[in-house]
């Protein structure tokens, strides 16, 4: 029995655009070939309704434009994951929102033909025009494998093209073969495995028994019915039951019973396919009688060693982490400084008011909040691309799987979680290297629990202000350092039970066999690495960046409006009075030093211009000794004006919608030891955690430019009082705030990254909800324990 194939495709000679799919096993050079064919002319997105990445590109060959679709890597059309189900639906032309494909490029690893041809045997059964691209030929030669590509092509009736994508060898031959194949219909069915007659009868019975809807049977391809029949409990069966109803499941059970046999149907299929592959390849493939040890085998003796491999891996991860954490800092400071300079320039040009605040504090600050993450993202994905392309990433997953599997995760979760200590955004984006959907989603949802660099300013300001600087544990450990370490450790400890709980609740009935393939080592392809980094950066700016920018504008609005005019009038009057007092006291001194310049006819405008010149000279440290009293008075005047400006900003913030929201949530945060001001600062820090430091500076009339190193802010925190005169902050309150920030997902960039990687609002909403509740519980427990221990 041969599985019925799709009808032959009509000639495409008259068409100028055709669609071809790249299909193959993981780690066969598929991405390298895609990049070599399409270059920068590609787009990355998601398939509608699923969390599977969709990557398309185009290239032109002799007037024919080919749209290339890079399908997720799969070992078989027996779909066991959403990625593999997308491959099946795209190949069958049944993927929602996707036009049918015209042909297939099957990627085959020449060094592992038997395993790769299992998928090829299934692709041939689709009856679509196909070209086989033989990759990894240098590795096959190193193993002593010789392939007669021409003979194999003649036997199959399919072009077989050896190539080396990273060296750009064989690309023209592949394009030509694809063009010729697509330009003519399939003349006859390809040679494919022959299955027992009882399977044919069972397939016919299943097809006739499909429940009718609307008086007609649903058009289900024979290939899909065959997969549902063979793959018990697979995604194809589940999908057809959803589409056709539970009655389809009954028909399926009856058909399987009719197929009979002592072996499972999947085992029968496997046996028949591998027998067919063996008979197909033996005449055209020569292998050495004994295995030839390769360079990869020699390297693996060290890199996958239980002890030495782990030590090397941890050292490599320490280097990558340091590069992300420290290497990105100068570039992030440069980007941040640029947007500060841009904001200062806009402030000088635009008149004071809502427009200037929108442009400076909303638009410019919002764009800066997006682009400031790019250095960390590009550095992380640069290393991930190198490790993935050279073949080391699966080894790293193998080494870490024993540890992380006990925590409900896989070995591939280690690098995303480690990266999240620098920034959760690139860490979450790195989860795309995890094939298993359960592990990928679970890793995304616990990654925000790793204390990122944005939390550090929050920790530092409260530790320095409220935690005593003394030694503990016999004088070996500082209490402040121990507190900081404990906060980092808290996220790790909480992540373990949360990972188990998430898997138990959301993925309890999903099981996925753990398959780990260790591909041969090879030198990374610069083009592949560069395109991978470029795609990651562009996707972050295009998708996550849009959300970050919109939320930044929203937070600016609630922190600015309603902006009562009475506050501006009050502080404007105070500034005028301060100027008049200053000018009245200073004018006699100025006239005694320079009677001609500061004569009796000097008005306020000329006095301001003259003082501006004096300020410039003072900044250049060119003030003559006799002018030092003037400089001192200018310093005192500027300090007074700065204090008034800070007080005005604090008054605006306290009377904004954000301030009103802080008062509304005051009863909610009171059990944590907070008052409305801390609640307001926490709300304002939703776009980014570290914003709380600048907001506290504004609240305490110190200005928004204060940072975690500000001694005045530390002192203001110590001296702050509640309305009844009690201290606002205590050790218990400080610990409560830090625990809340250690556990809560107050980072819109992180939530936007989860939305982008999961292609769903469900997971970021769940993440924000569960982490906020978790943080609230942690902060409440911390404060209550602190009070009982006398730290309140």
Which phi and psi (to 5°) does residue 373 adopt?
-85, -15
For 374-387, how does the pLDDT look when each residue is reduced to its tens digit (9 = 90+)? 887 788 778 888 88
> pLDDT-based confidence at 118, cuts 50/70/90?
very high
- Looking at residue 614, its pLDDT comes to 60
> pLDDT-based confidence at 120, cuts 50/70/90?
very high
CA 254, 255, 259 angle in degrees (round to 5)?
Answer: 120
Q: How much of the chain exceeds pLDDT 70, in percent?
A: 85
- Looking at residue 7, its pLDDT comes to 43
Q: Tell me the two tokens of residue 626.
A: 């006799």
- Looking at residue 106, its pLDDT comes to 94
Q: Among residues 31, 100, 785, which one has the least CA distance to residue 433?
A: 31
> pLDDT-based confidence at 173, cuts 50/70/90?
very high
Which burial class, exposed, middle or buried, applies to 498 when counting CB atoms under 10 A from its CB (0-12, 13-18, 19+)?
A: buried
**H helix intervals, 188-234:** 197-208, 222-230
DSSP bridge partners of 164: 169
Placement of tokens 């570290």 in the chain: 690
- Looking at residue 274, its pLDDT comes to 93
- Looking at residue 513, its pLDDT comes to 53
> pLDDT-based confidence at 8, cuts 50/70/90?
very low
Query: Under a CB-based contact definition with an 8 Å cutoff, are residues 61 and 176 in contact?
Result: yes
Q: Are strands 216-217 and 212-213 parallel, antiparallel or unpaired?
A: antiparallel
Say which residue, 205 or 171, is predicted with more confidence.
Answer: 171
Give me the count of residues in the chain: 792
Query: Under a CB-based contact definition with an 8 Å cutoff, are residues 733 and 20 in contact?
Result: no
- Looking at residue 604, its pLDDT comes to 60
pLDDT for 751 beyond 80: yes
Residue 217 half-sphere exposure toward CB, CA atoms < 13 A: 9
For 498-545, how does the pLDDT look when each residue is reduced to its tens digit (9 = 90+)? 999 998 888 775 555 556 677 778 888 888 788 888 877 877 677 656
State how far the Cα of 269 lies from the Cα of 584, in Å rounded to an integer. Answer: 99
pLDDT for 122 beyond 50: yes
Q: Tell me the two tokens of residue 791.
A: 């730290």
- Looking at residue 509, its pLDDT comes to 59
In whole numbers, what is the pLDDT of the chain averaged over residues? Answer: 80
For 335-346, how does the pLDDT look when each residue is reduced to its tens digit (9 = 90+)? 878 888 888 888
Say which residue, 350 or 40, is predicted with more confidence.
Answer: 350
For 461-489, how does the pLDDT look when each residue is reduced to its tens digit (9 = 90+)? 888 888 888 888 776 778 888 888 888 88
Q: Tell me the two tokens of residue 146.
A: 């010789």
> pLDDT-based confidence at 617, cuts 50/70/90?
low
Mean pLDDT value across residues 778-786: 94
For 227-257, how does the pLDDT look when each residue is reduced to its tens digit (9 = 90+)? 888 888 777 787 788 777 777 788 888 888 8
DSSP class per residue in 386-410: HHHHHT-HHHHHHHHHHHHGGGT--
State how far the Cα of 243 lies from the Cα of 196, in Å rounded to an integer. Answer: 29
pLDDT for 289 beyond 70: yes
Query: Under a CB-based contact definition with an 8 Å cutoff, are residues 284 and 162 in contact?
Result: no
For 546-596, how does the pLDDT look when each residue is reduced to its tens digit (9 = 90+)? 666 776 677 778 878 888 888 888 888 888 888 888 877 777 777 777 777
Query: Under a CB-based contact definition with an 8 Å cutoff, are residues 441 and 757 in contact?
Result: no
DSSP class per residue in 294-306: PHHHHHHHHHT-T
Mean pLDDT value across residues 735-754: 89
Max mean pLDDT range (54-63, 402-411, 565-574): 565-574
Burial letters 392-421, b for 16+ CB under 10 A, else e: bbbbbbbbbbeebeebbbbbbbbbbbbbbb
- Looking at residue 605, its pLDDT comes to 63
List CB contacts of 96: < 8 A, sequence separation 6 or more: 47, 48, 49, 89
- Looking at residue 9, its pLDDT comes to 47
Placement of tokens 């899909």 in the chain: 224
State how far the Cα of 310 lies from the Cα of 763, in Å rounded to an integer. Answer: 33
Cis peptide before 417 (omega within 30 of 0): no
Query: Under a CB-based contact definition with an 8 Å cutoff, are residues 435 and 670 in contact?
Result: no
For 361-370, how does the pLDDT look when each residue is reduced to its tens digit (9 = 90+)? 777 876 776 6
pLDDT for 45 beyond 60: no
Query: Under a CB-based contact definition with an 8 Å cutoff, are residues 332 and 372 in contact?
Result: yes
State how far the Cα of 68 lies from the Cα of 602, in Å rounded to an integer. Answer: 77
Q: How much of the chain exceeds pLDDT 90, in percent?
A: 15
Which phi and psi (to 5°) does residue 563 adopt?
55, 65
3-class DSSP assignment, residue 186 = coil
CA 418, 423, 428 angle in degrees (round to 5)?
Answer: 70
pLDDT for 328 beyond 80: no
List CB contacts of 750: < 8 A, sequence separation 6 or more: 424, 425, 428, 447, 448, 767
Which burial class, exposed, middle or buried, applies to 274 when counting CB atoms under 10 A from its CB (0-12, 13-18, 19+)?
A: middle
**Secondary structure of 156-171 in the HEC alphabet?**
HCCCEEECEHHHCECH
- Looking at residue 287, its pLDDT comes to 85
- Looking at residue 6, its pLDDT comes to 46
């Amino acid at each position: 029995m041969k599985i019925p194939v799709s009808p032959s495709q009509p000639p495409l000679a008259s068409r100028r655009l055709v669609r071809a799919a790249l299909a193959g096993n993981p780690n066969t050079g598929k991405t390298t070939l895609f990049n070599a064919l399409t270059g920068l002319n590609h787009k990355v997105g998601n398939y509608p309704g699923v969390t599977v990445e969709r990557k398309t590109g185009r290239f032109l060959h002799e007037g024919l434009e080919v749209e290339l679709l890079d399908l997720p890597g799969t070992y078989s059309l027996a779909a066991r994951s959403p990625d593999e189900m997308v491959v099946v639906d795209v190949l069958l032309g049944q993927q929602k929102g996707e036009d049918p494909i015209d042909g297939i490029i099957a990627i085959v690893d020449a060094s592992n033909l038997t395993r790769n041809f299992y998928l090829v045997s299934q692709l041939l059964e689709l009856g679509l025009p196909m070209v086989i691209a033989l990759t990894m030929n240098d590795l096959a030669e190193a193993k002593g494998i010789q392939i007669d590509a021409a003979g194999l092509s003649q036997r199959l009736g399919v072009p077989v093209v050896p190539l080396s994508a990273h060296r750009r060898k064989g690309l023209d031959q592949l394009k030509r073969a694809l063009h010729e194949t697509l330009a003519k219909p399939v003349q006859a069915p390809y040679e494919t495995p022959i299955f027992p007659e009882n399977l044919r009868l069972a397939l016919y019975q299943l097809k006739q028994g499909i429940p009718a809807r609307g008086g007609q049977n649903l058009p289900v391809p024979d290939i899909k019915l065959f997969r549902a029949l063979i793959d018990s409990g697979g995604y194809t069966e589940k999908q057809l039951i959803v589409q056709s109803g539970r009655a389809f499941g009954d028909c399926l059970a009856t058909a399987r019973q009719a197929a009979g046999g002592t072996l499972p149907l999947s085992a029968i299929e496997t046996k028949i396919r591998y027998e067919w592959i063996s008979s197909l390849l033996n005449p055209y493939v020569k292998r050495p009688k004994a295995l030839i040890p390769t360079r990869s085998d020699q390297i693996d003796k060290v890199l996958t060693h239980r002890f030495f491999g782990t030590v090397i891996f941890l050292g490599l991860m320490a280097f990558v982490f340091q590069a992300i954490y420290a290497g990105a800092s100068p570039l992030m400071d440069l980007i941040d400084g640029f947007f500060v300079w841009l904001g200062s320039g806009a402030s000088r040009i635009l008149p004071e008011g809502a427009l200037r605040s929108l442009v400076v504090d909303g638009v410019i600050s919002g764009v800066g909040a997006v682009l400031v993450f790019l250095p960390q993202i590009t550095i992380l994905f640069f290393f991930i691309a190198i490790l993935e392309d050279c073949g080391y990433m699966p080894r790293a997953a193998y080494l870490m799987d024993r540890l992380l599997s006990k925590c409900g995760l896989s070995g591939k979760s280690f690098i995303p979680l480690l990266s999240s200590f620098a920034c959760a955004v690139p860490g979450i984006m790195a989860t795309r290297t995890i094939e298993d959907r359960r592990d990928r989603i679970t890793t995304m949802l616990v990654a925000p629990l790793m204390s990122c660099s944005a939390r550090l300013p929050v920790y530092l300001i409260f530790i320095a202000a409220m935690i005593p600087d003394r030694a503990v544990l016999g004088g070996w450990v500082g209490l402040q350092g121990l507190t900081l370490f404990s906060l980092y450790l808290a996220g790790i400890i909480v992540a373990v039970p949360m990972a188990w709980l998430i898997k138990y609740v959301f993925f309890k009935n999903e099981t996925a066999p753990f398959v780990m393939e260790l591909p041969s080592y090879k030198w990374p392809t610069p083009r592949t690495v560069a395109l991978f980094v470029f795609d990651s950066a562009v996707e972050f700016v295009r998708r996550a960046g849009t959300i970050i920018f919109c939320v930044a504008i929203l937070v600016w609005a609630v922190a600015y409006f309603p902006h009562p005019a009475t506050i501006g009038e009050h502080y404007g009057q105070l500034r005028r009075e301060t100027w008049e007092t200053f000018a009245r006291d200073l004018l006699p001194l100025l006239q005694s030093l320079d009677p001609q310049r500061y004569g009796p006819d000097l008005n306020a405008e000329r006095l301001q211009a003259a003082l501006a010149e004096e300020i410039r000279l003072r900044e250049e440290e060119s003030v003559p000794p006799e002018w030092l009293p003037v400089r001192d008075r200018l310093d005192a005047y500027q300090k007074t004006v700065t204090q008034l400006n800070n007080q005005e900003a604090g008054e605006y913030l306290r009377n904004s919608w954000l301030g009103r929201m802080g008062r509304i949530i005051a009863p909610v945060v009171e059990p944590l030891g907070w008052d409305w001001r801390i609640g307001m600062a926490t709300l304002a820090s939703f776009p980014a955690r570290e914003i709380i430091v600048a907001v506290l500076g504004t609240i305490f009339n110190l200005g928004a430019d204060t940072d975690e190193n500000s001694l005045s802010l530390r002192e203001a925190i110590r001296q702050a009082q509640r309305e009844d005169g009690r201290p606002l902050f205590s050790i218990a309150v400080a610990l409560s705030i830090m625990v809340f920030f250690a556990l809560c997902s107050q980072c819109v960039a992180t939530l936007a990254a989860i939305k982008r990687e999961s292609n769903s609002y469900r997971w970021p909403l769940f993440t924000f909800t569960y982490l906020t509740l978790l943080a609230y519980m942690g902060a409440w427990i911390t404060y209550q324990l602190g009070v009982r221990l006398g730290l309140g």
